[in-house]
Structure 1
């Protein structure tokens, strides 16, 4: 019974190791970490530059900052608006990144689809060889 449990545990660990060390899982982990850092950068951009420079002057008449703007009792519209701007900036950055990657892939596909132009010297040699073959056939066919 104990051997069966150890064998099953080893098999499970081997399967987990194979799964965890696949390229896709590692790439996903790196993407999540980079995405978290990018999210912090975008949040800082929104909180420290965009909102104070654009929205706070509009709210200066009410005397409140953009994050403290509320509607009714406890509805934090300022915080929500900041999150929406964060999302829009991240979505725009991802759109531009994906669009650039698609264009790069299209260029690669177009380059792969076009056969390279033949070397002019090789074309001339092939024509000469074909002409010599035809001439040899004509001369051999005469009595």
Structure 2
């Protein structure tokens, strides 16, 4: 997993975040490593509206938690993801209906082609993830780049 890119291009950040959310490798990283690297991407807002409990809940919605990760270690399991499509802001009907509450908050829904592999099997599927980024000119954003302030992987929370 890589560090969050320092960019004001929220589309680039959304794509990188979505791939990171769905990428892990039991052969080279522990669950704690994967979680802490993803945690480093998540920027908690000053009002606490995006608590870390949401990060845990949504990460588990990708089909992985500490227990399942531990059981996959012996199978040399790993997951990779590639962006298939990206829609942001007013390209999304739900955002048109309920626009962002402040300038600089962006929402993108990324469709990923995900490959789950173990030593004995391969599974390819498509998974959507909605990523929220806080960018300048928002008062709560860094002056020179965007930060991820949330993502949704649970099917009932995806923004279409």
Larger radius of gyration: 1
Greater strand share, structure number:
2
TM-score (norm. length: structure 2): 0.22
TM-score (norm. length: structure 1): 0.24
Which fold has the larger relative contact order, with Cα–Cα distance below 8 Å and residues 6 or more apart in sequence? 2
Greater helix share, structure number:
1
